[in-house]
Amino acid sequence: MDAIFRTDPYTQSCEATVLRADETGIRLDRTVFYPMGGGQPGDHGVLRLADGSVIPIRDTVKGTGPDDILHLTGPGVTLPAAGTKVTAEIDWERRHRLMRMHTCLHLLCAVVPGEVTGGQVGDGKGRLDFNLPEGGLEKEAIAAALNRLIEEDHPVRPVWITDEELAAKPELVRTMSVKPPTGAGRVRLLEIEGVDLQPCGGTHVRSTAEIGRVEVTKMESKGRQNRRVYVALVGE
Ligand SMILES: [Zn+2]
C-alpha cells in the first residue's frame, strides 16, 4: 500500500487499483486519502471509474494496520470489483483547510506552555486541551503570537528519526493522548523551523504563511487542570 499523502500531502489524485471492496470499505493499492488519526479527520472525495461512473467516498479510516486504509462509501453504492482501475481524488479544498488548521495547532502547541492532553483538527477550526490550571492564558495574546509565527513564514517539513533516538528524547512527545507510532524502526517528526518539533503523521502545509490569519474563538476550563483553546481560520 502506497500512502502518497505521507511523502506528498499536496497530491490531490492518483491512479489506483482496487485490491478488495466489501462492507468494511474499499482498499486500493495506493491512495491520496488520509485516514482519520492523530486528531485529523479522514478525507472525503471520489473514486472515478473508466466508464465515467463516480463512487463518492464519505470518510477514510484505518483498518487493522497502519497500511490498511479503508475508503468508506455511503449506502446503496455498487462496490467495484477487485482489479478495477480507478482515479482516487480527494476533496482538496477541505483537505487544504485541514492541513492549514493542523499546522496551526502545532503553532498553538509552541505558544501555550503545558502538556497537550487532547485535540481535534476540524474543517476551518480546531482545538487543543492543555494540562494547565485556570488563569494565565489570554485569548488576544495567544492569537497575536500565532499570527506572528504565521507571518514570519517558517518552513514546515517532516524529519525522520529512529525509535532509539526518540526514546532518548522523550521531551519531543508533547501530546500525551497521541503516542507516536514506534516499532517500525523509525518515527516521523514534523519540524516547524525554529518553532516546534514533535512526532506527527498528519498532513501539513509547506510553510506557516500558508495557514493564513487565525483567531482564538474561545477558551474553556474542562476541569481543574484542563484548559481548552479553540482556534479558527479567519474568513472561512
Ligand atoms: Zn501534525
Cα(42) to centroid(ligand 1), Å: 14
Cα(3) to centroid(ligand 1), Å: 16
C-alpha 174/C-alpha 214 separation (Å) is 22
Cα(110) to centroid(ligand 1), Å: 12
- Count the Cβ atoms, other than its own, within 10 Å of residue 236: 12
- The overall longest dimension of the chain from CA atoms, in Å, is 60
Cα(201) to centroid(ligand 1), Å: 6
Cell 483498518 locates to 63
- pLDDT tens sequence across 96-150: 999 999 999 999 999 998 889 999 999 999 999 999 988 778 999 999 999 999 9
**Sheet of 13-22: strands edge to edge?**
54-57, 45-49, 85-90, 13-22, 25-28, 69-72, 59-62
Residue ranges of the chain with pLDDT lower than 50? none
C-alpha 169/C-alpha 157 separation (Å) is 19
pLDDT of residue 181: 61
pLDDT of residue 96: 98
* Total length of the chain: 236
Cα(213) to centroid(ligand 1), Å: 18
Element at 163 (helix H, strand E): helix 163-167
Cα(198) to centroid(ligand 1), Å: 8
pTM for the predicted model, two decimal places: 0.92
C-alpha 107/C-alpha 150 separation (Å) is 8
pLDDT of residue 135: 78
Count Cβ atoms within 10 A of the Cβ of residue 64 and give its class: 0-12 exposed, 13-18 middle, 19 or more buried: exposed
Cα(164) to centroid(ligand 1), Å: 21
C-alpha 98/C-alpha 193 separation (Å) is 20
Cα(188) to centroid(ligand 1), Å: 10
Q: What does the block give as the cell for 52?
A: 465515467
pLDDT of residue 75: 85
- Count the Cβ atoms, other than its own, within 10 Å of residue 185: 9
